[in-house]
Amino acid sequence: MGEFELIRHYFAAASCAQGGEGVVLGIGDDCALLSVPPGEQLAISTDTLVAGVHFPAVCDPFLLGQRSLAVAASDLAAMGATPIGFTLALTLPTVHADWLQAYARGLNQMAERCQLSLIGGDTTCGPLSLTMTVFGRVPGGQALTRSGAQDGDLLCVGGDLGNAAGALPLVLGERSADAGQADPLLAHYWSPQPQLALGQALRGKATAALDISDGLLADCGHIAKASQVAVQVELERLPLSAALQAFLGRQGAQQAALAGGDDYVLAFTLPEAELAPLLAAGWPVRVVGRVTAGRGVSLIDGRGQDITPDTRGYQHFKETP
Ligand code: ADP
Ligand code: MG
Protein backbone atom coordinates (compact mmCIF):
# COMPACT_ATOMS: atom_id res chain seq x y z
CA MET A 1 0.00 0.00 0.00
CA GLY A 2 1.44 3.38 -1.03
CA GLU A 3 1.65 6.36 1.31
CA PHE A 4 -1.24 8.20 -0.25
CA GLU A 5 -3.35 5.09 -0.34
CA LEU A 6 -2.68 4.82 3.39
CA ILE A 7 -3.86 8.39 3.87
CA ARG A 8 -7.09 7.70 2.03
CA HIS A 9 -7.71 4.76 4.28
CA TYR A 10 -6.80 6.90 7.25
CA PHE A 11 -9.50 9.47 6.46
CA ALA A 12 -11.92 6.76 5.44
CA ALA A 13 -11.61 5.36 8.96
CA ALA A 14 -12.61 8.64 10.67
CA SER A 15 -15.98 8.55 12.37
CA CYS A 16 -17.20 11.45 10.22
CA ALA A 17 -16.59 9.28 7.11
CA GLN A 18 -19.05 6.55 8.08
CA GLY A 19 -22.01 8.11 6.26
CA GLY A 20 -25.02 10.04 7.48
CA GLU A 21 -28.34 11.46 6.40
CA GLY A 22 -28.37 12.12 2.66
CA VAL A 23 -25.19 10.09 1.99
CA VAL A 24 -26.07 7.13 -0.20
CA LEU A 25 -22.46 6.19 -0.96
CA GLY A 26 -19.36 7.63 0.73
CA ILE A 27 -15.59 7.16 0.31
CA GLY A 28 -14.31 4.31 -1.81
CA ASP A 29 -15.92 4.51 -5.24
CA ASP A 30 -15.32 6.85 -8.16
CA CYS A 31 -18.00 9.24 -6.92
CA ALA A 32 -19.97 9.69 -3.74
CA LEU A 33 -23.75 9.64 -4.11
CA LEU A 34 -26.00 12.10 -2.26
CA SER A 35 -29.76 12.22 -2.12
CA VAL A 36 -31.75 15.39 -1.58
CA PRO A 37 -35.41 15.18 -0.50
CA PRO A 38 -37.97 16.20 -3.16
CA GLY A 39 -38.54 19.94 -3.15
CA GLU A 40 -35.09 20.72 -1.75
CA GLN A 41 -32.06 22.13 -3.53
CA LEU A 42 -28.39 21.23 -3.23
CA ALA A 43 -26.13 24.02 -1.86
CA ILE A 44 -22.43 23.68 -2.77
CA SER A 45 -19.36 25.73 -1.87
CA THR A 46 -15.58 25.26 -2.21
CA ASP A 47 -12.77 26.86 -0.20
CA THR A 48 -9.02 26.43 -0.62
CA LEU A 49 -6.55 27.20 2.14
CA VAL A 50 -2.90 27.51 1.08
CA ALA A 51 -0.06 27.29 3.63
CA GLY A 52 1.68 30.62 4.08
CA VAL A 53 -1.24 32.46 2.49
CA HIS A 54 -4.35 31.49 4.47
CA PHE A 55 -2.65 30.03 7.53
CA PRO A 56 0.93 29.97 8.88
CA ALA A 57 2.95 27.15 7.31
CA VAL A 58 3.99 26.06 10.80
CA CYS A 59 0.89 25.66 12.93
CA ASP A 60 -0.97 23.18 15.08
CA PRO A 61 -2.47 20.57 12.67
CA PHE A 62 -5.36 19.81 15.03
CA LEU A 63 -6.43 23.47 14.98
CA LEU A 64 -5.89 23.64 11.23
CA GLY A 65 -8.20 20.63 10.81
CA GLN A 66 -10.94 22.42 12.71
CA ARG A 67 -10.47 25.75 11.00
CA SER A 68 -10.24 24.44 7.44
CA LEU A 69 -13.64 22.79 7.68
CA ALA A 70 -15.28 25.56 9.73
CA VAL A 71 -14.45 28.13 7.07
CA ALA A 72 -16.15 26.01 4.41
CA ALA A 73 -19.14 25.04 6.57
CA SER A 74 -19.76 28.72 7.30
CA ASP A 75 -20.85 29.18 3.67
CA LEU A 76 -23.61 26.62 4.21
CA ALA A 77 -24.71 28.58 7.30
CA ALA A 78 -24.80 31.76 5.24
CA MET A 79 -27.19 30.14 2.74
CA GLY A 80 -29.44 28.74 5.46
CA ALA A 81 -28.52 25.22 4.31
CA THR A 82 -28.67 22.00 6.32
CA PRO A 83 -25.26 20.28 6.14
CA ILE A 84 -24.91 16.94 4.35
CA GLY A 85 -21.27 16.23 3.58
CA PHE A 86 -17.92 17.43 2.32
CA THR A 87 -14.95 16.35 0.22
CA LEU A 88 -11.33 16.97 1.13
CA ALA A 89 -8.63 17.58 -1.47
CA LEU A 90 -5.36 17.36 0.37
CA THR A 91 -2.00 18.37 -1.14
CA LEU A 92 0.93 17.46 1.10
CA PRO A 93 4.68 17.96 0.63
CA THR A 94 5.53 14.93 2.78
CA VAL A 95 3.63 12.38 4.82
CA HIS A 96 4.03 12.80 8.57
CA ALA A 97 1.83 10.37 10.49
CA ASP A 98 1.67 12.62 13.59
CA TRP A 99 0.66 15.65 11.55
CA LEU A 100 -2.03 13.71 9.68
CA GLN A 101 -3.40 12.13 12.80
CA ALA A 102 -3.77 15.49 14.53
CA TYR A 103 -5.19 17.13 11.40
CA ALA A 104 -7.76 14.36 10.98
CA ARG A 105 -8.72 14.61 14.65
CA GLY A 106 -9.41 18.35 14.36
CA LEU A 107 -11.26 17.85 11.10
CA ASN A 108 -13.35 15.05 12.54
CA GLN A 109 -14.27 17.10 15.59
CA MET A 110 -15.53 20.01 13.47
CA ALA A 111 -17.28 17.61 11.05
CA GLU A 112 -19.20 16.03 13.90
CA ARG A 113 -20.10 19.39 15.38
CA CYS A 114 -21.41 20.52 11.98
CA GLN A 115 -23.00 17.15 11.16
CA LEU A 116 -21.02 16.95 7.93
CA SER A 117 -20.01 13.53 6.57
CA LEU A 118 -16.67 13.15 4.81
CA ILE A 119 -17.74 11.64 1.46
CA GLY A 120 -14.57 11.67 -0.63
CA GLY A 121 -11.58 13.65 -1.75
CA ASP A 122 -8.24 13.57 -3.45
CA THR A 123 -4.70 13.17 -2.16
CA THR A 124 -1.74 14.62 -4.01
CA CYS A 125 1.88 15.58 -3.44
CA GLY A 126 2.93 19.26 -3.51
CA PRO A 127 3.02 22.41 -1.36
CA LEU A 128 0.57 22.12 1.57
CA SER A 129 -2.93 23.14 0.59
CA LEU A 130 -6.41 22.06 1.61
CA THR A 131 -9.56 22.29 -0.48
CA MET A 132 -12.93 21.57 1.04
CA THR A 133 -16.16 21.31 -0.89
CA VAL A 134 -19.25 21.32 1.29
CA PHE A 135 -22.71 20.11 0.31
CA GLY A 136 -25.96 21.04 2.02
CA ARG A 137 -29.66 21.11 1.28
CA VAL A 138 -32.23 23.84 1.50
CA PRO A 139 -35.99 23.88 0.77
CA GLY A 140 -36.58 25.14 -2.78
CA GLY A 141 -36.54 28.93 -2.98
CA GLN A 142 -35.61 29.43 0.69
CA ALA A 143 -31.83 29.78 0.41
CA LEU A 144 -30.53 33.02 1.94
CA THR A 145 -28.93 34.85 -0.96
CA ARG A 146 -27.19 38.23 -0.95
CA SER A 147 -29.69 39.84 -3.25
CA GLY A 148 -32.96 40.31 -1.34
CA ALA A 149 -32.25 43.20 1.07
CA GLN A 150 -35.01 45.83 1.10
CA ASP A 151 -35.13 49.52 1.98
CA GLY A 152 -36.17 49.66 5.66
CA ASP A 153 -34.64 46.32 6.72
CA LEU A 154 -32.41 46.14 9.77
CA LEU A 155 -28.76 45.12 9.30
CA CYS A 156 -27.90 42.44 11.86
CA VAL A 157 -24.97 40.20 12.81
CA GLY A 158 -24.91 36.91 14.68
CA GLY A 159 -22.30 37.72 17.34
CA ASP A 160 -19.15 39.60 18.34
CA LEU A 161 -17.05 40.90 15.47
CA GLY A 162 -13.31 41.34 15.03
CA ASN A 163 -12.05 38.59 17.36
CA ALA A 164 -10.30 36.61 14.63
CA ALA A 165 -8.67 39.73 13.17
CA GLY A 166 -7.59 40.63 16.69
CA ALA A 167 -6.00 37.21 17.02
CA LEU A 168 -3.97 37.51 13.82
CA PRO A 169 -0.91 39.27 15.35
CA LEU A 170 -0.92 36.52 18.01
CA VAL A 171 -1.19 33.79 15.38
CA LEU A 172 1.69 35.31 13.41
CA GLY A 173 3.80 35.75 16.55
CA GLU A 174 3.99 39.53 16.06
CA ARG A 175 2.48 40.24 19.47
CA SER A 176 1.84 38.40 22.68
CA ALA A 177 -0.75 38.79 25.41
CA ASP A 178 -1.60 37.07 28.66
CA ALA A 179 -3.81 34.01 28.36
CA GLY A 180 -6.94 35.82 29.61
CA GLN A 181 -6.84 38.13 26.59
CA ALA A 182 -5.23 35.84 24.04
CA ASP A 183 -7.17 32.60 24.53
CA PRO A 184 -10.67 33.78 23.56
CA LEU A 185 -9.28 35.55 20.50
CA LEU A 186 -7.17 32.59 19.39
CA ALA A 187 -10.12 30.24 19.91
CA HIS A 188 -12.17 32.38 17.58
CA TYR A 189 -9.46 32.35 14.91
CA TRP A 190 -8.64 28.64 15.05
CA SER A 191 -12.06 27.27 15.76
CA PRO A 192 -14.70 29.57 14.30
CA GLN A 193 -18.18 28.23 14.98
CA PRO A 194 -20.18 28.14 11.73
CA GLN A 195 -23.61 29.57 12.58
CA LEU A 196 -25.50 26.72 10.94
CA ALA A 197 -28.48 26.69 13.30
CA LEU A 198 -28.89 30.45 13.06
CA GLY A 199 -28.75 30.30 9.25
CA GLN A 200 -31.51 27.71 9.18
CA ALA A 201 -33.58 29.74 11.67
CA LEU A 202 -33.31 32.75 9.33
CA ARG A 203 -34.91 30.92 6.37
CA GLY A 204 -38.04 32.73 5.31
CA LYS A 205 -37.14 35.67 7.62
CA ALA A 206 -33.84 37.25 6.57
CA THR A 207 -34.00 38.98 3.19
CA ALA A 208 -30.24 38.62 2.52
CA ALA A 209 -27.33 36.98 4.30
CA LEU A 210 -23.63 36.12 4.07
CA ASP A 211 -20.85 35.06 6.40
CA ILE A 212 -18.32 37.75 7.23
CA SER A 213 -14.92 36.77 5.90
CA ASP A 214 -13.44 40.10 4.80
CA GLY A 215 -14.71 42.48 7.49
CA LEU A 216 -18.20 43.90 8.01
CA LEU A 217 -17.86 46.89 5.67
CA ALA A 218 -16.52 44.95 2.70
CA ASP A 219 -19.02 42.16 3.13
CA CYS A 220 -21.96 44.55 3.50
CA GLY A 221 -20.76 45.95 0.19
CA HIS A 222 -21.61 42.58 -1.37
CA ILE A 223 -25.17 42.72 -0.01
CA ALA A 224 -25.58 46.35 -1.08
CA LYS A 225 -24.42 45.57 -4.60
CA ALA A 226 -26.35 42.35 -5.07
CA SER A 227 -29.54 43.84 -3.57
CA GLN A 228 -29.12 47.28 -5.19
CA VAL A 229 -29.62 49.09 -1.90
CA ALA A 230 -27.53 51.22 0.49
CA VAL A 231 -26.34 49.72 3.78
CA GLN A 232 -25.62 51.95 6.78
CA VAL A 233 -23.41 50.58 9.57
CA GLU A 234 -23.59 52.26 13.00
CA LEU A 235 -20.18 52.32 14.68
CA GLU A 236 -21.49 52.42 18.26
CA ARG A 237 -23.66 49.34 17.76
CA LEU A 238 -20.85 46.95 16.77
CA PRO A 239 -20.75 44.01 19.19
CA LEU A 240 -17.16 43.77 20.50
CA SER A 241 -15.85 41.23 22.99
CA ALA A 242 -14.25 42.37 26.23
CA ALA A 243 -11.09 40.43 25.29
CA LEU A 244 -10.78 42.25 21.95
CA GLN A 245 -11.28 45.68 23.53
CA ALA A 246 -8.74 44.89 26.25
CA PHE A 247 -6.21 43.76 23.63
CA LEU A 248 -6.67 46.45 20.96
CA GLY A 249 -8.46 49.29 22.76
CA ARG A 250 -11.95 50.36 21.73
CA GLN A 251 -10.96 52.04 18.46
CA GLY A 252 -8.70 49.17 17.48
CA ALA A 253 -11.48 46.71 18.22
CA GLN A 254 -13.92 48.72 16.11
CA GLN A 255 -11.45 48.75 13.26
CA ALA A 256 -10.94 44.98 13.52
CA ALA A 257 -14.71 44.49 13.40
CA LEU A 258 -15.15 46.75 10.38
CA ALA A 259 -12.16 45.77 8.28
CA GLY A 260 -10.65 42.60 9.73
CA GLY A 261 -11.27 39.22 8.17
CA ASP A 262 -11.97 35.69 9.27
CA ASP A 263 -14.90 36.28 11.62
CA TYR A 264 -17.29 33.78 9.98
CA VAL A 265 -20.18 35.38 11.83
CA LEU A 266 -23.39 35.82 9.82
CA ALA A 267 -24.45 39.27 8.62
CA PHE A 268 -28.04 39.54 7.42
CA THR A 269 -30.85 41.93 6.69
CA LEU A 270 -34.16 41.54 8.45
CA PRO A 271 -37.56 43.22 8.16
CA GLU A 272 -38.14 44.97 11.54
CA ALA A 273 -41.11 42.76 12.41
CA GLU A 274 -38.89 39.66 12.38
CA LEU A 275 -36.50 40.92 15.08
CA ALA A 276 -38.54 40.48 18.29
CA PRO A 277 -39.56 36.84 17.65
CA LEU A 278 -35.96 35.86 16.84
CA LEU A 279 -34.68 37.54 20.02
CA ALA A 280 -37.47 35.97 22.07
CA ALA A 281 -36.44 32.57 20.72
CA GLY A 282 -32.93 33.23 22.00
CA TRP A 283 -31.09 33.69 18.70
CA PRO A 284 -27.97 35.88 18.92
CA VAL A 285 -29.16 38.72 16.72
CA ARG A 286 -27.44 42.11 17.08
CA VAL A 287 -28.70 45.10 15.12
CA VAL A 288 -25.75 47.07 13.70
CA GLY A 289 -27.39 49.29 11.12
CA ARG A 290 -30.05 49.48 8.45
CA VAL A 291 -30.83 49.25 4.78
CA THR A 292 -31.93 52.33 2.86
CA ALA A 293 -32.59 53.27 -0.71
CA GLY A 294 -29.43 54.08 -2.64
CA ARG A 295 -26.13 52.32 -3.27
CA GLY A 296 -23.01 51.39 -1.32
CA VAL A 297 -22.01 51.12 2.32
CA SER A 298 -21.63 53.96 4.80
CA LEU A 299 -20.44 54.17 8.38
CA ILE A 300 -22.19 56.42 10.91
CA ASP A 301 -20.76 57.48 14.29
CA GLY A 302 -22.68 57.91 17.54
CA ARG A 303 -23.64 61.48 16.59
CA GLY A 304 -25.03 60.42 13.24
CA GLN A 305 -22.03 61.78 11.32
CA ASP A 306 -20.95 59.96 8.19
CA ILE A 307 -17.40 58.69 8.88
CA THR A 308 -17.16 56.24 5.99
CA PRO A 309 -13.49 55.33 5.51
CA ASP A 310 -12.04 56.34 2.17
CA THR A 311 -10.61 53.86 -0.28
CA ARG A 312 -7.05 54.42 0.94
CA GLY A 313 -7.87 52.41 4.05
CA TYR A 314 -8.77 53.23 7.59
CA GLN A 315 -6.45 56.14 8.40
CA HIS A 316 -9.33 58.59 8.17
CA PHE A 317 -11.41 56.49 10.53
CA LYS A 318 -8.53 56.10 13.01
CA GLU A 319 -8.11 59.84 13.32
CA THR A 320 -11.70 60.53 14.38
CA PRO A 321 -11.87 61.49 18.07
P1 ADP B 1 -9.85 8.06 -8.26
O2 ADP B 1 -8.47 7.72 -8.77
O3 ADP B 1 -10.94 7.23 -8.83
O4 ADP B 1 -10.16 9.53 -8.28
P5 ADP B 1 -8.71 7.88 -5.64
O6 ADP B 1 -7.79 6.71 -5.62
O7 ADP B 1 -8.14 9.25 -5.74
O8 ADP B 1 -9.83 7.64 -6.72
O9 ADP B 1 -9.59 7.83 -4.32
C10 ADP B 1 -10.23 6.66 -3.88
C11 ADP B 1 -11.32 7.01 -2.94
O12 ADP B 1 -10.77 7.69 -1.81
C13 ADP B 1 -12.36 7.94 -3.54
O14 ADP B 1 -13.63 7.57 -3.06
C15 ADP B 1 -11.96 9.30 -3.01
O16 ADP B 1 -13.07 10.15 -2.91
C17 ADP B 1 -11.36 8.95 -1.67
N18 ADP B 1 -10.32 9.89 -1.21
C19 ADP B 1 -9.14 10.17 -1.79
N20 ADP B 1 -8.42 11.08 -1.06
C21 ADP B 1 -9.20 11.40 0.00
C22 ADP B 1 -9.06 12.29 1.09
N23 ADP B 1 -7.97 13.05 1.27
N24 ADP B 1 -10.06 12.34 1.98
C25 ADP B 1 -11.17 11.59 1.82
N26 ADP B 1 -11.37 10.74 0.82
C27 ADP B 1 -10.40 10.63 -0.10
MG1 MG C 1 -11.94 7.00 -10.23
Q: Is 189 annotated as a binding residue?
A: no
Q: How many Å separate Cα 233 from the centre of its chain?
A: 20
Under 8 Å between Cβ of 45 and 134: yes
pLDDT category of residue 310 using cuts at 50, 70 and 90? confident
Count of other CB atoms within 10 angstroms of residue 89: 16
Under 8 Å between Cβ of 164 and 44: no
Under 8 Å between Cβ of 67 and 191: yes
For residues 195, 197, 199, 203, the Cα torsion angle rounded to the nearest 10 degrees is: 180
Provide, rounded to the nearest whole percent, the portion of the chain with pLDDT above 90: 86
Q: Is 124 annotated as a binding residue?
A: no
**Residue 153 one-letter amino acid:** D
Rounded Cα–Cα distance for residues 195 and 192 (Å):
9
Res 88 pLDDT > 80: yes
pLDDT category of residue 313 using cuts at 50, 70 and 90? very low
Res 311 pLDDT > 70: no
> What is the Å distance from ligand 2's center to 30 Cα?
4
- Residues 67-73 have a mean pLDDT of 96
Whole-model pTM: value is: 0.92
User: In 187-295, which ranges are E strands?
Assistant: 208-211, 230-234, 266-270, 286-292
Burial state string for 260-290 with b = 16 or more CB within 10 A and e = fewer than 16: bbbbbbbbbbbeeebbeebeeeebbbbbbbb
DSSP letters, 230-242, are: EEEEEGGG----H
pLDDT digits over 13-52, tens only?
999 999 999 999 999 999 999 999 999 999 999 999 999 9
Smallest CA separation from ligand 1 atom 3, residue: 30
> What is the Å distance from ligand 1's center to 264 Cα?
29
Residue 1: the pLDDT is 64
Residue 291: the pLDDT is 98
Residue 290: the pLDDT is 97
Smallest CA separation from ligand 1 atom 11, residue: 28
> What is the Å distance from ligand 1's center to 76 Cα?
23
Q: Is 121 annotated as a binding residue?
A: yes
Ligand 1 atom at minimum distance from 28 CA:
14
pLDDT digits over 285-295, tens only?
999 999 999 99
Res 123 pLDDT > 60: yes
CA nearest neighbour of 308 among 318, 295, 320, 317: 317
* Residues contacting ligand 1 via CB (< 6 Å): 8, 11, 27-30, 88, 90, 118, 120-123
User: Would you mind telling me the total number of residues written for the chain in this entry?
Assistant: 321
Ligand 1 atom at minimum distance from 4 CA:
20
Task: Find all residues with CB under 8 Å of 47, minimum gap 6, and list them.
Answer: 68, 71, 72, 75, 131, 132
pLDDT category of residue 321 using cuts at 50, 70 and 90? very low
pLDDT digits over 48-61, tens only?
999 999 998 889 99
> What is the set of domains in the chain, with CATH numbers?
3-139 (3.30.1330.10), 153-300 (3.90.650.10)
